[in-house]
Amino acid sequence: MIITVILTVVLSLVWGSEVIHPPFQTGDCSMCHVKTKDGYSEALTVKVPDLCYMCHPRKDDKKVVHNPVKAGACTLCHDPHKSRTPKLLKADSLNELCLSCHPSIQRLMAKPNIHPPVKLMGCTACHDPHSENNELRLKMPKKEICFMCHPQIKDVRDNSPNKHSALLIREGCLNCHNPHGSDHPKYLKYAIPKDLCLSCHDKVMAREEDGKRIKNMAKHFAQNKDPHGPNQWGDCVMCHNPHGSENYRILKGSFPSGFYSSFSKDNYICFMCHDATPFTQKETTVTGFRNGKLSLHYIHVNKDKGITCRDCHDWHATNGLPHHLKEYTEFGKVKFPLNYTPTKNGGFCGPLCHPRRGYDRVKPVVNPR
Ligand code: HEC
Ligand code: HEC
Ligand code: HEC
Ligand code: HEC
Ligand code: HEC
Ligand code: HEC
Ligand code: HEC
Ligand code: HEC
Ligand code: HEC
Ligand code: HEC
Ligand code: HEC
């Protein structure tokens, strides 16, 4: 007696606890098997799945039924007698069961980044194994399922003053994310955010709110071979919040929207990475854009009606000129050439807003008024 108890304890430690189907545990096999004169045959009194439905509610009564359930093949997944896996599953774990029939998801599991609920909670965190009213037997409609666990992104999507339509069109969150896992740490569909962004931004678009034109970024990058800083490594989301933002152009910080702007250090997302000194101090040597010590960055930008970085630079990409300087600037619908020419210790620019003028860091240029 004592030996049996010890053996059971040891075995259950080694094997884990066993789940025994209550009708099997009764030892009365005739609940399911046909009685013969010397015991029971393997033949069933009622065939599966109707046998199971004698005691369990139907599993195929919602709109989208899993194929093996539709086929009545309950015992492909469940052992009718006992199992070491909860819910009498015929595999060592829930996920192993699912993956055994879904090689495409099995291959995904080799990716370096797996969405935590897939591993921690298992496939049934989102999919019902039997039947459900939503596409793919998801526990919520496809466009809503993420909000079961990420309500804060719903808040950003719906309540940001500047919205990104990418979250609302077609497949919603799934336009950009893979729910299972991917090469990117935020489970993006592309390893590099830039490739993701350009998969939609490969045409001119119109803004949802005001119909304003948004340029074809893929074309812009194809035509301009010198990408700026973060764009060299494809990281558009250093500056943009992909879900929406309170700032102009869904930026993660402010940036003025017009040709002119009254200067404040806090208005420029650029200073997240660049030194603001040349813009706040009239005399400095920490910028190349100076005539002697006079900071021309300060002169141009730091005013009530200062001009903004966009009038001289393009921080997405430029083509050939140093310092991401543009060949042309736009004033409304008109395009002007900047005519920038670098020299050994400075450069020349214009005529545009003023006659052609120059700067030199060593021997300051005396410009016409
Ligand atoms: C809840 C219903 C149920 C009960 C109770 C039950 N069985 Fe089964 N049994 C089945 C089903 C269903 C199958 C067919 C399994 C399959 O298709 O894989 C089966 C298959 C079998 C088989 C064939 C081999 C195998 O394991 O697939 C044997 C032997 C068997 N049962 C023995 C028993 C004995 C002995 C008892 C009583 C101690 C018993 N069963 C109780 C449902 C039951
Ligand atoms: C594709 C595999 C698969 C098939 C086929 C399948 N099941 Fe299941 N079943 C599961 C999984 C996985 C769970 C555990 C769900 C969980 O933990 O959320 C489960 C849970 C259950 C449960 C316990 C929890 C509940 O939902 O009531 C019952 C009862 C059940 N299944 C009955 C059936 C019956 C009856 C059939 C055949 C009509 C069937 N299953 C077919 C995978 C399957
Ligand atoms: C004679 C009644 C009876 C029949 C027939 C029957 N079951 Fe059950 N089953 C039960 C009872 C009772 C439980 C325990 C209560 C519960 O979880 O609903 C149970 C529990 C289960 C569970 C959950 C086990 C767990 O770990 O929680 C699964 C899965 C299951 N049954 C599958 C099946 C399948 C598949 C069939 C058909 C092959 C079947 N049952 C046939 C009575 C039955
Ligand atoms: C016995 C094999 C088998 C098992 C085990 C199995 N499935 Fe399936 N599943 C299928 C088949 C067959 C289909 C229909 C063909 C297809 O679309 O792949 C399907 C379809 C699906 C679909 C819909 C695919 C689509 O593109 O429409 C999802 C989602 C799914 N299964 C999830 C699961 C989950 C989650 C589990 C584990 C609880 C699981 N499957 C376990 C066989 C299985
Ligand atoms: C966090 C929720 C979630 C979890 C957990 C989850 N899925 Fe999915 N699954 C989805 C969503 C959402 C889709 C729809 C994807 C789409 O349409 O782009 C999907 C699609 C699928 C599809 C069909 C389309 C395809 O990509 O082949 C299968 C099969 C599938 N899942 C199986 C599984 C399996 C197996 C597991 C467990 C290893 C699992 N899922 C875990 C949410 C989830
Ligand atoms: C069942 C709950 C659940 C569902 C449903 C779910 N997630 Fe998650 N997700 C988590 C958990 C848990 C984490 C890890 C904790 C965290 O970082 O929030 C996570 C993490 C993430 C992360 C990484 C977060 C970070 O800061 O690194 C992304 C991206 C993500 N989920 C996207 C999605 C998308 C897209 C969907 C819808 C297809 C979705 N999730 C549905 C539970 C869920
Ligand atoms: C336009 C593509 C795109 C869409 C659509 C999208 N995301 Fe993201 N998501 C991203 C990118 C890119 C990141 C990484 C952001 C970063 O690193 O700053 C991200 C990050 C996340 C994170 C990590 C935490 C965070 O705030 O950075 C979660 C959670 C998340 N997304 C959930 C969702 C949910 C839920 C939806 C649907 C409402 C959704 N995403 C729609 C591109 C997208
Ligand atoms: C699924 C398609 C899709 C993807 C992927 C996508 N976008 Fe968009 N994006 C749009 C659409 C449609 C608009 C125009 C409508 C709107 O948002 O008002 C837009 C608008 C924008 C705008 C202008 C927003 C405004 O309010 O002025 C910016 C900036 C932007 N996207 C950046 C990005 C970045 C960065 C990525 C990559 C993380 C990205 N987009 C990925 C579809 C997409
Ligand atoms: C250094 C910060 C920064 C990075 C990195 C960045 N952007 Fe931008 N982006 C901006 C700013 C600032 C604006 C506002 C430009 C304006 O209105 O002149 C903008 C505007 C946009 C617009 C709207 C264009 C229009 O015609 O109004 C799109 C689309 C866009 N960015 C996509 C991207 C994509 C795709 C990437 C990655 C390849 C990216 N951005 C990387 C700062 C950045
Ligand atoms: C009037 C045109 C003009 C405006 C407006 C302008 N820049 Fe410049 N910027 C230049 C020129 C010209 C250079 C090249 C200086 C040189 O010869 O090295 C430059 C160089 C730079 C450099 C390289 C480091 C340095 O200071 O030499 C950075 C960073 C920079 N600008 C950022 C900005 C930012 C951020 C803004 C807006 C807040 C801005 N610029 C506005 C013309 C301009
Ligand atoms: C996330 C960090 C980051 C932000 C934000 C950022 N930059 Fe840069 N920037 C860099 C890096 C890294 C480089 C160096 C690589 C290169 O030249 O492209 C750089 C280089 C530059 C240069 C050329 C410097 C030189 O010495 O030639 C200019 C001009 C410039 N940035 C302008 C801007 C403007 C304008 C903004 C705001 C719209 C901005 N940057 C925002 C990271 C950033």
Per-residue pLDDT tens over the stretch 290-337:
999 999 999 999 999 999 999 999 999 999 999 999 999 988 888 999
- Indicate if 266 and 356 belong to the same structural domain: yes
- Indicate if 293 and 325 belong to the same structural domain: yes
Ligand nearest, relative to CA of residue 215: 9
Query: Over the stretch 249-278, which tens digit does the pLDDT of each residue have?
Result: 999 999 999 889 999 999 999 999 999 999
- With a 6 Å cutoff on the Cβ, whether 296 touches ligand 7 is no
Ligand nearest, relative to CA of residue 172: 7
Quick one: CA dihedral 94, 97, 100, 103, positive or negative?
negative
- Indicate if 233 and 264 belong to the same structural domain: no
Query: Over the stretch 97-136, which tens digit does the pLDDT of each residue have?
Result: 999 999 999 999 999 999 999 999 999 999 999 999 999 9
Of the pLDDT bands very low, low, confident and very high (cuts 50, 70, 90), residue 338 is: very high
| 58 or 2, greater pLDDT | 58
Query: How close is the Cα of 268 to the center of ligand 10, in Å?
Result: 13
Question: In the prediction, which pLDDT does 6 show?
Answer: 47
- With a 6 Å cutoff on the Cβ, whether 214 touches ligand 8 is yes
In a domain, 4, yes or no: no
Tokens found for residue 150: 């990420």
In a domain, 365, yes or no: no
Q: Is the pLDDT of residue 11 over 80?
A: no
- With a 6 Å cutoff on the Cβ, whether 59 touches ligand 2 is yes
Question: What percentage of residues in the chain have a pLDDT greater than 70?
Answer: 96
Question: In the prediction, which pLDDT does 16 show?
Answer: 56
Q: Find where tokens 């002169």 sit.
A: 299
CA-atom Rg of the chain in angstroms: 33
| Average pLDDT over the chain, rounded to an integer | 93
In a domain, 368, yes or no: no
- Indicate if 244 and 280 belong to the same structural domain: no
Q: Which of 105, 114, 115 to mutate to test the pocket of ligand 6 (most atoms within 8 A of CB)?
A: 115
Cα-Cα-Cα-Cα dihedral of 66, 71, 72, 74, to 10°?
Answer: -60
- Indicate if 186 and 133 belong to the same structural domain: no
Q: Is the pLDDT of residue 13 over 70?
A: no
Q: Is the pLDDT of residue 209 over 60?
A: yes
Q: Is the pLDDT of residue 7 over 80?
A: no
Q: Which of 250, 276, 291 is the last residue of a domain?
A: 250
- With a 6 Å cutoff on the Cβ, whether 276 touches ligand 4 is no
DSSP for 79-122, please give it.
-SSEESSGGGBSSSSHHHHHHHH-HHHHHHTTSSEE-HHHHHT-
Which ligand 10 atom minimizes the distance to the CA of 290? 15
Alpha helices (runs of H) in 1-40, residue ranges in sequence order = 2-15, 22-25
Q: Mean pLDDT over residues 35-48, rounded?
A: 93
- Indicate if 99 and 127 belong to the same structural domain: yes
In a domain, 209, yes or no: yes
Find the domain containing 109 and state its range: 42-139
Query: How close is the Cα of 289 to the center of ligand 10, in Å?
Result: 6
Tokens found for residue 220: 């812009």
Ligand nearest, relative to CA of residue 54: 3
Query: How close is the Cα of 88 to the center of ligand 2, in Å?
Result: 9
- Indicate if 187 and 163 belong to the same structural domain: yes
- Indicate if 120 and 164 belong to the same structural domain: no
Question: In the prediction, which pLDDT does 328 show?
Answer: 93
Which ligand 1 atom minimizes the distance to the CA of 55? 1
In a domain, 5, yes or no: no
Distance CA 16, CA 141 (A): 37
Query: How close is the Cα of 280 to the center of ligand 9, in Å?
Result: 25
What residues contact 219, with CB distance under 8 A and at least 6 apart? 202
Query: How close is the Cα of 273 to the center of ligand 11, in Å?
Result: 7
In a domain, 148, yes or no: no
Q: Mean pLDDT over residues 75-83, rounded?
A: 98
- With a 6 Å cutoff on the Cβ, whether 76 touches ligand 4 is yes
What pTM value is reported for the model?
0.95
- Indicate if 135 and 189 belong to the same structural domain: no
- Indicate if 234 and 162 belong to the same structural domain: yes
In a domain, 219, yes or no: yes
- Indicate if 133 and 103 belong to the same structural domain: yes
Q: Is the pLDDT of residue 145 over 80?
A: yes
- With a 6 Å cutoff on the Cβ, whether 315 touches ligand 9 is yes
Which ligand 7 atom minimizes the distance to the CA of 238? 18
What residues contact 99, with CB distance under 8 A and at least 6 apart? 105, 106, 109
Ligand nearest, relative to CA of residue 359: 10
- Indicate if 177 and 123 belong to the same structural domain: no
In a domain, 242, yes or no: yes
Question: In the prediction, which pLDDT does 211 show?
Answer: 82
Distance of CA 89 to the CA centre of its chain: 34
Distance CA 305, CA 290 (A): 20
Q: Mean pLDDT over residues 151-163, rounded?
A: 96
Of the pLDDT bands very low, low, confident and very high (cuts 50, 70, 90), residue 220 is: very high
Question: In the prediction, which pLDDT does 1 show?
Answer: 42
Distance CA 142, CA 232 (A): 34
Query: Over the stretch 342-367, which tens digit does the pLDDT of each residue have?
Result: 999 999 998 877 899 999 999 999 99
Q: Domains in the chain: how many in total? A: 3
CB < 8 Å & 24+ apart, contacts of 53-58:
55/23
Tokens found for residue 297: 């960055």
Q: Which of 194, 229, 250 is the last residue of a domain?
A: 250
Q: Which of 193, 226, 250 is the last residue of a domain?
A: 250
